[in-house]
Structure 1
Amino acid sequence: MAQTDPQNSERDRVIVFDTTLRDAEQTPGASLTVRDKLEIAHQLARLQVDVIEAGFPISSNEDFEAVRRIGLEVNGPTICGLTRVLLKDIDRAGEALKDAANARIHTFVGTSESHLQGQMRKSRKEVLDMAATAVAHAKGFVDDVE
């Protein structure tokens, strides 16, 4: 009987990162209540999804509350809040996730030339510095930062 190398089995493991609760509302006309999101999150946990991106807490009070409640009530998966690299976004996500058993802050920044020159008006170095600052700031709230 062949033996399995534990390092290889962990390396080969697929991690399921579900964005349904955030991405579903990107569809024109679609909207989910806090209760809807909580119900879906419980079902995702039953399916043993590894990470649930529960919402974008800075975007609305409802999204903040959904992330907070999912973090409190859904056991098993890591509960993730999405943020831009803005400190106010990270603070809001940190507050929403403060009581979650397994919390992650997922921070992002656009790095295409059009983002850098048009929307951000920053150099690539400035944006990299913003990202590093954001990750360090998020680490003040949670151990798991992406």
Structure 2
Amino acid sequence: MSQDTPLFVISVAAELCGMHPQTLRQYDRIGLVSPTRTSGKSRRYTMQDVAHLREVARLSAEGVSLEGIRRVLELVDQNTALNARVRDLERELANQVMSQPGNRVFAAGEQGVIRLNPGQRPERSGSVVLWKRR
């Protein structure tokens, strides 16, 4: 099971969050937390939904409006997705660099920027090396 597995009916999710089930229905209507639905249209909450609901309760207790909370959660989700994308791109770049050694274009060191031939190493190990993708 993952955090995205719908497990909890609304009464259990409300109890886990310390909220009333009607509050969860309202949050669903305004889009703060959108649980999955069964074929019979009943709500099923995941562990991630419960964590979001707890965050909603915390922000609400600090005086943040529901619209502000919606925006905060949206930005947190967007940030998480972007971080995952950056990690994927870094991994892809590292794999490409490792599979094609010797593709240095230039290096920057105390002497300034110097051009390097494929396979040539800069004189100092502390130099900044930029790679050119093919």
TM-score under structure 1 length normalisation: 0.23
Rg comparison, structure with higher value: 2
